[in-house]
């Protein structure tokens, strides 16, 4: 990945991309591409390039996501826009969006296979952008329910979890219908990931310095959707603080919201959905024909759940 970032010579854009890649992360999508490829019998060299492509695309979306959310910290370090400014961070993100296609261009495979991989990358990137746009629009909609939240989560988080598996299936020689089906099965893990990420927002372990960063940004998280379903009489008050930046900057307001989410049952409702979405991935009938790939699905669900296992809800505290 670093070689692709540097290109013919190291420049400021490549250096910023390298800075992003050196910041760490779980490399979950790269690991998923490798595990799925091994399960399907794909050779190592093309698989490594495909894994790099998936990880580069994911990290590109994170750079732009940090700008949109005004997050100054990721993985315990300053975000690119916080260090270099919005304009340069956009440049770095744009560059990294192109690098996956360069990685696929280096795969030693028939042109038709590379063409399918290019298409898979582009479609997943488009779904992710549409999901992000849908999520950002939710707070301004008055009738948000679980169906709209799930649709946004599947786009924003699910597309880039299905992509590594779809590409591995393409490299294994599977047809379009089969490769898309396997990718779709894994994309459901995006909803599971987002449920756990929204719960993690209530803890001090999310890497952003203090809890409730999503609430402070005015996001329509799963917790807010659950709270509105449980307490529709509080919709006016909920939308009032959700749409008011001044109120969201008030620690007392955030502390009150946190207490209502815990005491009102929203946290418990979201937690109850976690095993249901986990089962929707691990028990997907489309994976039964390939036991090794089903095992990869179980491993993915375990990794996603372990990432949220250290959740310690800050009950009524926004410190």
pLDDT of 24: 78
312 within domain boundaries: no
Q: What is the pTM of this model?
A: 0.89
What's 158's DSSP letter?
A: I
Q: Containing H/E element for 122?
A: helix 111-137
How many domains, the chain? 1
In a domain? residue 157? yes
What is the per-residue pLDDT for 209? 59
34 domain-assigned: yes
Query: Tokens 């300053």 correspond to what residue?
Result: 78
Residue 95: the pLDDT is 95
Q: What is the pLDDT of residue 163?
A: 98
Give the model's pLDDT for residue 143: 82
In a domain, 22, yes or no: yes
Q: State the pLDDT at residue 315.
A: 42
Query: Rounded CA gap, 192 and 268, in Å?
Result: 15
The pLDDT of residue 206: 57
Instruction: Return per-residue pLDDT of the chain as tens, 319 residues.
Output: 777 877 777 899 999 999 998 887 889 999 999 999 999 999 999 999 999 999 999 999 999 999 998 888 888 789 999 999 999 999 999 999 999 999 999 999 999 999 999 999 999 999 999 999 999 999 999 888 999 999 999 999 999 999 999 999 999 999 999 999 999 999 999 999 999 999 988 876 555 557 788 898 899 999 999 999 999 999 999 999 999 999 999 999 999 999 999 999 999 999 999 999 999 999 999 998 899 999 999 999 998 888 766 554 444 333 3
Residue 3 confidence (pLDDT): 79
* Residue 96 belongs to some domain of the structure: yes
For CA atoms 149, 151, 154, 159, the dihedral sign is negative
Diameter over CA atoms, the chain:
60
> Could you tell me the residue range of the domain that residue 92 belongs to?
2-307
Query: Is 42 part of any domain?
Result: yes
Q: What CATH number is given to the structural domain containing 77?
A: 1.10.600.10
Question: For residue 38, what pLDDT is reported?
Answer: 97
Instruction: Quote the CA–CA distance of 160 and 186 in Å, as a whole number.
Output: 9
pLDDT at position 310 is 52
314 belongs to a structural domain: no
Tokens for 269? 């409702």
Separation CA 215–CA 223 (nearest Å): 10
pLDDT of amino acid 317: 38
In-domain check, residue 317 = no
**Structure confidence at residue 23 (pLDDT):** 83
d(C-alpha 190, C-alpha 156), whole Å: 8
Question: Which pLDDT score is estimated for 250?
Answer: 93
Task: With beta carbons less than 8 A apart as the criterion, state whether 32 and 164 touch.
Answer: yes
Number of Cβ atoms within 10 Å of the Cβ of 142:
8
pLDDT for res 281: 95
CA distance 124 to 74: 23
């Amino acid at each position: 990945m670093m070689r692709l970032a540097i290109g013919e010579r190291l420049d400021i854009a490549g250096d910023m991309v390298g800075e992003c890649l050196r910041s760490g992360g779980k490399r979950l999508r790269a690991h998923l591409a490798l595990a799925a490829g091994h399960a399907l019998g794909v050779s190592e060299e093309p698989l490594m390039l495909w894994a790099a492509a998936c990880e580069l695309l994911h990290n590109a979306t994170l750079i732009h996501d940090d700008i949109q959310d005004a997050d100054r910290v990721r993985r315990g370090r300053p975000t690119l826009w916080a260090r270099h400014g919005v304009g340069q961070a956009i440049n770095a993100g744009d560059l990294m969006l192109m690098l996956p296609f360069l990685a696929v261009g280096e795969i030693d495979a028939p042109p038709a296979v590379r063409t399918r991989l290019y298409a898979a990358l582009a479609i997943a990137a488009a779904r992710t952008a549409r999901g992000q746009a849908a999520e950002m629009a939710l707070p301004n909609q008055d009738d948000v329910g679980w169906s709209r939240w799930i649709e946004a989560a599947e786009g924003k988080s699910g597309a880039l979890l299905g992509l590594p598996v779809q590409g591995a299936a393409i490299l294994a020689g599977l047809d379009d219908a089969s490769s898309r089906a396997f990718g779709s099965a894994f994309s459901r893990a995006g909803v599971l990931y987002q449920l756990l990420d929204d719960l993690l927002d209530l803890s001090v372990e999310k890497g952003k310095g203090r809890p409730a960063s999503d609430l402070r940004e005015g996001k329509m998280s799963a917790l807010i959707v659950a709270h509105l379903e449980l307490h529709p009489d509080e919709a006016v008050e909920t939308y009032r603080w959700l749409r008011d930046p001044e109120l969201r900057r008030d620690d007392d307001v955030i502390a009150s919201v946190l207490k209502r989410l815990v005491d009102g049952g929203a946290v418990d409702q979201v937690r109850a959905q976690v095993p249901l979405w986990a089962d929707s991935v691990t028990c997907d009938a489309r994976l039964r024909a390939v036991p090794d790939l089903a095992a990869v699905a179980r491993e993915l669900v375990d990794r996603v759940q372990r990432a949220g296992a250290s959740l310690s809800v800050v009950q009524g505290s926004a410190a």
